[in-house]
Structure 1
Amino acid sequence: MSEADAYLRAYQRERQARLLAEKLLDEKTRVLYDKVLELNETLGNLQHTRNQLLQTEKLAAMGQLTSGLAHEINNPIGFCISNVKCLREWSAQLIALAQHAEALDNTPTAAQLSNLRTTLEQLDLPYLQEELPILLDETEHGLSRVRDLISKLQQYTELGQQQEQSISLHSSIAMALATLGEHKQQCHIEKILGSDIVVIGNELEVQLILSHLLNNAVDACHGKGLIRLVLRSHTEQDREWAIIEVIDSGCGIAAENLQRIFDPFFSTKDVGHGTGLGLSMSYSIAIKHGGSLSVQSQLGQGSCFSLQLPLAPVV
């Protein structure tokens, strides 16, 4: 075989190998491309499912909020109904007194005067003069409270539609505490709030975070223990921050779980007692508001969740 034939055969073998390699590369590229498309579709489906679950978690939290508010509404409604019953009795006595007075002639008879005197004694006018203004004030205050709570309930029906607004953290904390209702059982809640602080954001979403943190604290204490709520301001990197700490004396979180506590679907609760999305949702809301949500905890020694939000700019 001549040297030229040897070079030609070597070239042909090299060309064949290159064509085969290109064919294999093309096949692998197509397979990889199909896998990327499949992975993107899977990721899209997972994101859609996660969004649906987060919405479900928001609705569940909303249900808990509205349930707690309904419980709070029952209290003023209860004493307002009781007050109305008293007003009905007193108004009947006042009407009877007015009727007796209207029936008097210029020269009333002894019987007429006796009836008037008896009605006055039954009415106990000094007691009525003292108690009636108090009862009316209580009723007005109770109905105003109901009106405000119903206004909050109306806001909850607009979840996701609220615009950013100035938020009083005292008010948000009060509403979150109100939603606990009977769920707090024997927990002692200590409030160290100081002066009110105003932040900018979605009021309902901030209340959802606080409500979730408080309910988690109650669960961690098994319904009996100390929960401390602290509100303070903090300056960091030339920015003013509001910090709300929810500190409980409950069971605490194991060190290996602290890094995963805000992951979607992760939960330290028993199966059937939580979706594992509450803290993930709360963390996402805090980040959306330009803040953060962090935790410090030791197993058996309780936990401290810290919500940090930027203060509203001074106008």
Structure 2
Amino acid sequence: MLTTPHARTLGTLVCLGLLLSATVSSLIFGHIPVSLEMLINSLTDYDPGSLEHLVIHSERFSRTVTSVIAGAGLAIAGALMQTLTRNPLASPGILGINAGAMFFVVVGATLFSLTSPSQLVWAAFAGAATAAALVYFLGQEAGRGVSPVRTVLAGVAITALFVSFAQGLLILNQDRFESILFWLAGSVSGRELDTTLPLLPMFGGALILALLLSRQLNLLGLDDEVIRGLGLRVGQVRLLIGLVVIVLAGTSVAMAGLIGFVGLIVPHMARGLFGTDHRWLLPLSAIIGATLLLAADTIARLVIPPQEIPVGVMTALLGTPLFLHLARHVRKVS
């Protein structure tokens, strides 16, 4: 663990370097390879007649931006949920929030013909909030409050329920199946900047609020009586954190679909390197989450070219063994 300010600053610079490398790799690797020189030329002297320039500007820029935002959003949401519930297995994917958002998006698209990003993102927020409320209610243990084990079991059940409902709707509405299928597997392919940019204000506002709550988050590991004695309004802080999680997870699902395990494993990676201080944990989780999703998407393009594996499959391949490891070594998150 990096404990000194100098070591943490150096570690942050290394993580930023990895993020930059992953971003460049996302722009140059794929079915149509692009050289670094060609990438620079496309930025400084764009030629619409060049196939490589066209691929970079029309397809890879948008999926790179989507990967960065979705990866950062899911990672921060996971870190917040683990602190809020004091459960190291908490994440938007495990606790059903992603599945709830995805189900409401499918309902909006299939039953109400919603197509614009602004419409779908509100559907995603509603689904994320509904799933969070259900999991919180089902995770309660009489006389003891929220139980980590019951919460995880409730999240798994809610995820299975919403995914099954979504698949059933798509089977009944074959005309919408192709356009909605990517939400089930998780994909950043085919996203356009025109659909991503309108979501940035909400995402940015939630991110800033999460960073402003860093000091309060550091206190949530203490007992509630101690926290109240320090003058912190626990209920208000938890409500704000819940709203931030819903916005971040809903935005990520609206952009990239059902991508699991990023919100689970990335906070543990950041916590293992930088400790539990949320002033470091949250921004580093965002950087690592963006890097991880960029790397997963790049690898997904190269495994069986010209076909692409959905990025949600790649994150699942990485996240499943780590989830099993965490499940065997559950400890309270401080």
Higher RCO structure (Cα 8 Å, ≥6 apart): 2
Name the structure with the higher helix share. 2
What is the TM-score normalised by the length of structure 1?
0.23
| TM-score normalised by structure 2 residue count | 0.22
